[in-house]
Structure 1
């Protein structure tokens, strides 16, 4: 199945904070480069103009994965990540995949195994 790269939207505050994160050691990792590529293609809006249905930092997202169950987690900075609490780092492959997507959008994303999956955004909450 062919899925086009969806457009993504990021707030100016998230862009500034993530850019600062990537300016450090995180930017030299494969995960950092993947996040940077996502940010490079993002449509940037003022914080108060970011739609409520867009996945942003500290927002909770429910998404489905092709051939898998729905999952729900909060997108956070690396130092806040805690899988048991449902907080996923923006530097995790699924975290950078979700950033900036809105409800209904789908993205084809590589898995650590080398395979790919399709993620679909089902809901976003504060």
Structure 2
């Protein structure tokens, strides 16, 4: 992990904690395990002011290119649950993939338990843009 711990912006940290508390989790055991791990990682996260945030951190509305070691690569946008749109590759923060990437940095390798089993991912690219929420991301 590039920075040693997750890096989160203060307002997003509060927002994500609130979303997790409201979500009530899920009935799916593997997805529940993913959220438990995410909550544990949030406990040790470095929480920074907006002006101190590195540009290579996966945040809400970040456009992220991620690859697995099974020749799979995809560009997605991490969004709030109400903004999710799988056809536009907008993934909710309250999905295993959203939770797995949030707070990590470009070039980080992430090992996460997904509903299909554990996967190792590499974050290839992170783009920050306040207008990201209106972009339509095409699948690679």
Question: Fold match, TM over 0.5?
Answer: yes
Alignment match, 1:41: 44
Q: Note the residue ranges of structure 1 that are not aligned, 5 or more in a row.
A: none
Q: Given that residues 8 and 48 in structure 2 are in contact (C-alpha distance below 8 angstroms), is that contact kept between their aligned partners in structure 1?
A: yes
Distance between the aligned counterparts of 1:40 and 1:17, measured in 2? 14
TM-score (normalizing by structure 2): 0.77
Match of 2:20 among 11, 19, 22: 22
RMSD: 1.8
Deviations 1:68-95 (A, max 9, x none): 3211011011111111111001111011
Q: Paired residues, what number?
A: 120
Q: Given that residues 38 and 96 in structure 1 are in contact (C-alpha distance below 8 angstroms), is that contact kept between their aligned partners in structure 2?
A: no
> Which segments of structure 1 move beyond 6 Å, counting only runs of 4 or more?
none
Q: Given that residues 62 and 122 in structure 1 are in contact (C-alpha distance below 8 angstroms), is that contact kept between their aligned partners in structure 2?
A: yes
Alignment match, 1:92: 95
